Amino acid sequence: METTKAEHTSKCHVVVVPYPGRGHVNSMMNLCKLLCSKSTDILITFVVTEEWFGFIGWDNKPANVRFRTIPNVIPSEHVRAKDFPGFVAAVLTKMEAPFEELLDRLESPVTVIIADTYMSWTVEVGKRRNIPVAFLWTMSASVLSVFYHFNLLVENHHFPADLSEQGNELVDYIPGLTHTRLADLPTIFYGNGRQTLQLALDCVSLVPKAQYLLFTSVYELELQVIDAFKAKLPFPVYPIGPSIPYLDLKENSSESSSPGNPDYLQWLDSQPQGSVLYVSFGSFLSVSAAQMDEIVAGVHDSGVRYLWVSRGDSSRFKDCCGGRGRVIPWSDQLRVLCHSSVGGFWTHCGWNSTLEAAYAGVPVLTFPIFWDQVPNSKQIVEDWKIGWRVKKDKVGEHLMTREEIAELVRKFMDFDSNEGKEMRTWAGKLRETCQLGIAKGGSSDINLDSFIQNISEGHTH
Ligand SMILES: O=c1ccn([C@@H]2O[C@H](COP(=O)(O)OP(=O)(O)O[C@H]3O[C@H](CO)[C@@H](O)[C@H](O)[C@H]3O)[C@@H](O)[C@H]2O)c(=O)[nH]1
């Protein structure tokens, strides 16, 4: 692997440890890009498994970021969905030793470790080596507050709980959290979520042992809950978001029919303004085949134009598409969302996708599948008012029919309805909030500067 000039000259050597999952790796890399855009005096060592290096090693990255790998000590990305709790357990127990060996081999002394909060074992490594640790929380601050104050759920007889009976009960006692129904909390009450809960709680319990807490969120998007953390934790709490690749947009601006652009961007160029629904279900846990067939048919029957990211079985799309729809295996998502032809986003509500929708000011149809995606959907629909839920009943698993879906999509993409207009006004306001946060002197801009100043001066609080 390459040796950069920065390696020998930088004052500030940051070692970053993302959690091995697409949404997490992306937000960590975006944070690195933001740090490098602020200071040329930073060297970043980005630590991933050999498998993940194969996925991202060739991606666009700043010259001051270099990859270093540890062996594939965790289950492969290709099989991890088969045993999700087992995968998380391996991440928490198997990576620490090879990470320490890697630290021993690094040439320049480490100024700070920035680790995903789920890589909680890094606090012990930092303590042993006298290196400060900054945790990056890649979900919403609201979700961290739920896990951080989990004891309150137990005290209020809201865990364990039967959502079919208690789902509508109000949770109004988590610091900073806007009023939320029990059914809108992360999926911790059953299945994989229940099995993973203790591991997540163990990680979150180590937050007070770090020296910094970074959020991928924007302060103004979750002001009360971030203030609650600031009041509680004895060290700096910095929302630096949205930690999404907006710098790449500026570097390489498109929205012209440039022949170098991928097909789907050229196709978008030729669609009417705001007419296209962009559909993406995320990279990991998916929906039943029967439901997926109804969704595909429903979106198609709605008559609305669409751009669909699907990496799975493409045969279900064979009768669709035509001139009005495109199905692609991968998109440059933020660029797509910021394209003027895109007027709506059907999403599984991963936090990065949620932030990207906010940044682009695009209204959202929410289809949460697992974990934090459920509260993200609630935040989008109820707090920010920039979207609608696809499924109204959160508890039942009834199959939505193609007719129901077609009608919903048609209404959602109708710009003339009062409801639609109102939602688009809110979406515009949210876009402005994000722009103000990242502008010079905005909250995220100031937080990034303070963080860099603190780590460069070796403050450990
Ligand atoms: O065709 C595609 C599809 C996705 N993306 C990007 O991939 C990222 C996906 O991240 P996210 O929306 O957060 O989804 P997941 O990958 O599912 O994220 C995982 O990690 C998130 C952050 O911790 C959690 O909020 C989610 O629940 C969890 O599933 C986003 O930046 C997308 O822009 C693309 O660029 N092109």
User: What's the pLDDT score for residue 349?
Assistant: 97
**Residue owning the nearest CA to atom 26 of ligand 1:** 350
Q: Give the distance, in angstroms, between the CA of residue 139 and the centroid of all CA atoms in the same chain.
A: 6
Task: Give me the sign of the Cα torsion angle 231, 442, 422, 369.
Answer: negative
**Ligand 1 pocket, 20 CB below 6 A?**
no
Mutate which of 286, 352, 371 to test ligand 1's pocket (most atoms within 8 Å of Cβ)?
352
**Ligand 1 pocket, 353 CB below 6 A?**
yes
163 vs 207: CA distance, rounded Å: 29
Name residues of the chain where pLDDT drops below 70: 1-9, 251-259, 283-286, 313, 319-322, 393-397, 459-461
User: What's the pLDDT score for residue 104?
Assistant: 97
**Ligand 1 pocket, 45 CB below 6 A?**
no
Output the CA 8–ligand 1 centroid distance in Å: 34
**Ligand 1 pocket, 331 CB below 6 A?**
yes
Domain assignments of the chain as residue spans, ordered by start: 5-146+190-246+440-460, 253-435
Residue with tokens 């739920």: 146
Mutate which of 222, 279, 283, 327 to test ligand 1's pocket (most atoms within 8 Å of Cβ)?
283
- Closest ligand 1 atom to residue 22 Cα is 16
Task: Give me the sign of the Cα torsion angle 156, 160, 163, 166.
Answer: negative
User: What's the pLDDT score for residue 1?
Assistant: 54
Output the CA 140–ligand 1 centroid distance in Å: 13
372 vs 351: CA distance, rounded Å: 8
Output the CA 162–ligand 1 centroid distance in Å: 29
Residues 17/99, Cβ–Cβ less than 8 Å: yes
192 vs 371: CA distance, rounded Å: 9
**Ligand 1 pocket, 351 CB below 6 A?**
yes
| Residue 16, strand partner residues | 46, 114
User: Has the ipTM of the complex gone over 0.90?
Assistant: yes
423 vs 418: CA distance, rounded Å: 9
Output the CA 373–ligand 1 centroid distance in Å: 11
**Ligand 1 pocket, 216 CB below 6 A?**
no
**Residue owning the nearest CA to atom 16 of ligand 1:** 23
As its CATH architecture, domain 253-435 has: 3-Layer(aba) Sandwich (3.40)
Closest by alpha carbon to 325, among 295, 290, 282? Answer: 295
**Ligand 1 pocket, 22 CB below 6 A?**
yes
Output the CA 23–ligand 1 centroid distance in Å: 4
Output the CA 322–ligand 1 centroid distance in Å: 28
**Ligand 1 pocket, 334 CB below 6 A?**
yes
Output the CA 278–ligand 1 centroid distance in Å: 14
**Residue owning the nearest CA to atom 33 of ligand 1:** 333
* Coil vs helix vs strand at 102: helix
Contacts of 412 (CB under 8 A, 6+ apart): 277, 344, 363, 365, 388, 420
**Ligand 1 pocket, 371 CB below 6 A?**
yes
As its CATH architecture, domain 5-146+190-246+440-460 has: 3-Layer(aba) Sandwich (3.40)
User: What's the pLDDT score for residue 216?
Assistant: 98
User: What's the pLDDT score for residue 322?
Assistant: 65
**Ligand 1 pocket, 195 CB below 6 A?**
no
- Closest ligand 1 atom to residue 328 Cα is 1
* Coil vs helix vs strand at 142: helix
Output the CA 335–ligand 1 centroid distance in Å: 14
| Residue 137, strand partner residues | 215
Output the CA 88–ligand 1 centroid distance in Å: 17
Which CB contacts under 8 angstroms, 24+ apart, belong to 381-387? 382/178, 383/178, 384/221, 384/358, 384/426, 384/430, 385/422, 385/423, 385/426, 386/357, 386/358, 386/423, 386/426, 386/427, 386/430, 387/357, 387/363, 387/423
**Ligand 1 pocket, 375 CB below 6 A?**
no
Q: Cβ atoms within 10 A of the Cβ of 63, count?
A: 11
**Ligand 1 pocket, 356 CB below 6 A?**
yes
Output the CA 283–ligand 1 centroid distance in Å: 7
